[in-house]
């Protein structure tokens, strides 16, 4: 139980385009989902907290207009990287919370 | 702000040796502490979760201790195997479930 999926697992896009990443809790409902990014050989940094039916809460230093988060249902949250640039290339991981956090497999974004 | 530190950053041992991974945190007001495993290019696998009221948790060859007052946790892996090679992350949770991660310890077990 407590499986979280992410789609796509990897994506390559051109600079200036937007990319949407989906995070789904497959066998449970999660009122809260979290989005993290991870640079090579570094740890996970929390980007934002996503609550179903309300606006996401962003961590300090994270541009809310660049990283749009939508939590439309208790099983789905999406992260859209708008006007992506090469410095946005990273590993993005989501988690869904039910007392503890269950993590998705991650999405590797490469912006060329 | 919670700061989580993991020492050492990297560790290489021969197969069969016991592993000791250390994690320290600056704010003792935690909800729980988790140890995760991450393989290269992959997501996180939860290994052990210790509630703030607990002192240790065990699962198979893994044992994690928690000393909240001193801000420390230790992960012990007994009789290491090459399949244990991975990066191990420590994370502490606040009561709003937000996690603060350490930078990880990368373990290599030599056959």
Q: What is the tens place of the pLDDT at every residue in A36-59?
A: 999 888 889 999 999 888 889 999
Per-residue pLDDT, averaged over B32-38, amounts to: 95
Q: What is the tens place of the pLDDT at every residue in A42-101?
A: 889 999 999 888 889 999 999 999 999 998 888 999 999 999 999 999 999 999 988 788
Q: What is the tens place of the pLDDT at every residue in B63-84?
A: 999 999 999 999 999 999 999 9
The number of residues in chain B equals: 111
What is the rounded average pLDDT for all residues in chain B?
94
- Determine which helix (DSSP H) or strand (DSSP E) holds B88, and give its type and residue range: strand B86-93
Separation CA B90–CA B37 (nearest Å)? 9
CA B15 to chain A, closest CA, distance in angstroms equals 24
Query: Which of the four pLDDT bands, split at 50, 70 and 90, describes residue B1?
Result: confident
> Taking every pair of C-alpha atoms in chain B, what is the biggest distance, in angstroms?
42
Alpha-carbon distances of B110 from B9, B74, B81, B83, rounded to whole Å: 17, 22, 8, 10
Give the number of beta-carbon pairs within 8 Å between A and B: 49
Contacts of A45 in chain B (CB under 8 A): 101
Is the pLDDT higher at A98 or at B100?
B100
Please tell me which residue of chain A has the smallest CA distance to B97: A100
The number of residues in chain A equals: 112
Q: Do B32 and A100 touch (CB under 8 A)?
A: yes
Structure tokens at A56: 């996401």
Question: Could you identify the residue written with the tokens 């099983």?
Answer: A75
Q: Do A42 and B103 touch (CB under 8 A)?
A: yes
Q: Do B98 and A43 touch (CB under 8 A)?
A: no
φ and ψ at A102, to 5 degrees? -115, 130
Cβ under 8 Å to B: A residues 52-111: 91, 93, 95, 97, 99-106, 108
Any B CB within 8 A of A5 CB: no
User: What's the pLDDT score for residue A51?
Assistant: 87
Q: Do B43 and A93 touch (CB under 8 A)?
A: yes
Please tell me which residue of chain B has the smallest CA distance to A6: B43
Q: What is the tens place of the pLDDT at every residue in B49-63?
A: 999 999 999 999 999
Q: Do B97 and A101 touch (CB under 8 A)?
A: yes
φ and ψ at A87, to 5 degrees? -70, -10
Terminal C-alpha separation, chain A: 37
């Amino acid at each position: 139980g407590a499986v979280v999926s992410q789609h796509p697992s990897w994506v390559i896009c051109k600079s200036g385009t937007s990319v949407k990443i989906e995070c789904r809790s497959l066998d449970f409902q999660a009122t809260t989902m979290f989005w993290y990014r991870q640079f090579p050989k570094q740890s996970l940094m929390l980007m934002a907290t996503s609550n179903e039916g309300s606006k996401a809460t962003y961590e300090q230093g994270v541009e809310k207009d660049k990283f749009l988060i939508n939590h439309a249902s208790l099983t789905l949250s999406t992260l859209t990287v708008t006007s992506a640039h090469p410095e946005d290339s990273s590993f993005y991981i989501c988690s869904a919370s039910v007392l503890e956090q269950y993590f998705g497999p991650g999405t590797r974004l490469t912006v060329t | 702000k919670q700061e989580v530190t993991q020492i050492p950053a990297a560790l290489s041992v021969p197969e069969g040796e016991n592993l000791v991974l250390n994690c320290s945190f600056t704010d003792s007001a935690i909800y729980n502490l988790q140890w995760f495993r991450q393989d290269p290019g992959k997501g996180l696998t939860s290994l052990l979760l210790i509630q703030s009221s607990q002192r240790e948790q065990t699962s198979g060859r893994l044992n994690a201790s928690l000393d909240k007052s001193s801000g420390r946790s230790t992960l012990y892996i007994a009789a290491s195997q090459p399949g244990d090679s991975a990066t191990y992350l420590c994370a502490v949770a606040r009561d709003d479930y937000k996690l603060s991660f350490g930078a990880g310890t990368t373990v290599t077990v030599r056959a």
